[in-house]
Amino acid sequence: MSKMAGPPSKEKEGDIFDVKRIRRLVELMNEHELAEIDLRQADQRIRLRKGGEPIIEVARPAAPAAPASGGAAPAAAPASDANLVEIKSPMIGTFYASSSPETPPFVKVGDHIGPTSTVCIIEAMKVFNEIPAEVSGLVVQVLVENGAPVEFGQPLYKIDPNK
């Protein structure tokens, strides 16, 4: 079975669930500390999320303070998307997770941030803009890869403000 990254045809719909492909996606998630991968092409979709939460997005009332699961990886903790807030890009530009290639990212999944914490830099027209969180909480998910182009209003991080 070919692993070429061409557009999948309906006849080969089974390819999308190829175990090797999914394994590679899981490796990528671990490599980049992603809590979720959501790929869509035409009407096909692969969505992987760590932590065993249901994939279907249903708005739920805020859960009462649940006891910590204890020992779970921070990435595995999203309660429900309904409780999370997004930090969005205030401009079109290029997303940088750290201040230079040699330094660690400003924030990673599992970090606690405050409103003035710098979460990333977005470069536009050679202006390097530090982006403040403007919310407090726990970083649940990093939605953009280092060096990727971002649009105005594009979600960059998911934050759990109750943690």
Partner 1 sequence: MDGGQENDALDVVRLLAGAPLAQCEYYPTVGSTHDVAHERARSADVELPLLVVADAQTAGRGRGQNQWWTGGGSLAFSLVFDPRDWQLAEVVQPQRSLAVGVAIADTVAPLTPRHRVGLHWPNDVFVDERKLGGVLVDVLAGGRHVIGIGLNVNNSFAGAPPEVVQRAISLTELTGRKLDRTGVLVELLRQLQSAMRQSAADPVGFGARFDTLCLQVGRELTIETAGQRATGVCAGIAPDGALLLEVAGQLTRHYSGVLVHDR
Contact residues toward partner 1 (CB under 8 A) are 90-94, 116-118, 123-132, 147-149
Least separation in angstroms between CB 163 and partner 1: 22
Least separation in angstroms between CB 32 and partner 1: 15
Least separation in angstroms between CB 151 and partner 1: 10
Written as six digits, the tokens of 64 are 């009462």
Residues 6+ away with beta carbon under 8 Å from 35 = 29, 49, 50, 51, 75, 76, 78, 109, 140, 141, 142, 158
Q: Which is nearer to partner 1, 75 or 139 (CB)?
A: 139
Q: Which is nearer to partner 1, 18 or 134 (CB)?
A: 134
Q: How many CA atoms lie within 13 A of 55 on its CB side?
A: 8
CA–CA distances in Å: residue 90 to residues 65, 100, 135, 160: 32, 21, 14, 20
Least separation in angstroms between CB 159 and partner 1: 15
Q: Which is nearer to partner 1, 2 or 116 (CB)?
A: 116
Q: Which is nearer to partner 1, 79 or 143 (CB)?
A: 143
Written as six digits, the tokens of 130 are 């530090």
Q: Which is nearer to partner 1, 147 or 161 (CB)?
A: 147
Least separation in angstroms between CB 118 and partner 1: 4
Element (H, E) at 54: none
CA–CA distances in Å: residue 3 to residues 10, 19, 39, 106, 127: 16, 11, 16, 35, 40
Choose among 63, 69, 86: nearest CA to 160.
86
